[in-house]
């Protein structure tokens, strides 16, 4: 992943943080992520995505 790609992702996370249907907890995480190292944030998001995928309802397409 390039530095430019991290910038694009950071901007998308910022947009998600201000959406009205974003939960308070997710908004807090996203707002805090703006001041943190983007690699750490991406690693946390990847970890959460893997956990969700592992516990997804049966029959989900992969």
Report pLDDT digits (tens) over 12-56.
989 999 999 999 999 999 999 888 988 898 899 999 889 888 887
pLDDT band at residue 58 under the 50/70/90 scheme: low
So what's the pLDDT on residue 7? 83
**CA–CA separation, 32 vs 41, rounded Å?**
10
**CA–CA separation, 38 vs 42, rounded Å?**
6
So what's the pLDDT on residue 52? 86
């Amino acid at each position: 992943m390039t530095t430019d790609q991290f910038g694009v992702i950071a901007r998308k996370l910022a947009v998600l943080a201000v959406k009205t249907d974003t939960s308070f907890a997710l908004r807090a995480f996203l707002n805090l992520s703006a001041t943190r190292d983007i690699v750490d944030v991406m690693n946390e998001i990847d970890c959460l995505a893997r956990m969700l995928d592992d516990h997804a309802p049966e029959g989900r397409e992969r």
